[in-house]
Copies of this chain bind each other. A is one copy, B any other.
Amino acid sequence: MSEFGAAPTDRLRSFVERIERLEEEKSALAADIREVYSEAKGVGFDVKVLRQIVSLRKMDQSDRREQEELLDIYKRALDLA
């Protein structure tokens, strides 16, 4: 069973720890975001709709238009409009 020498092992450990540290920070931010949604909900905003808004604003405008237009066509075809 081959194995790494001391130097590669140290480098490996270093990479892993850097990643773990960054992922910890990322998790903390995710928690912050959940908290903001929760706060918004607390003053009466609808969280689900809020998420839709954020998602829409993230989309390129022309893509959004296209998507909405396509949905409309499908909806009309199925009498859902």
Copy number in the complex reads: 4
Given contacts A33-B22, A56-B75, contact A43 B11 (CB under 8 A): yes
Which residues of B have CB within 8 Å of A67? 48-49
Q: Write the A58-81 contact mask toward B (1 if CB under 8 angstroms, else 0).
A: 100000001100110111111010
Q: Closest CB-CB distance, A66 to chain B, in whole Å?
A: 7
Quick check: A29 and B26 within 8 Å, CB to CB?
yes
Which residues of B have CB within 8 Å of A20? 54, 57-58
A binding-site residues for B, Cβ under 8 Å: 2-4, 8-9, 11-13, 15-16, 18-20, 22-23, 25-26, 29-30, 32-33, 36-37, 39-40, 43, 45-46, 48-50, 52-54, 56-58, 66-67, 70-71, 73-78, 80
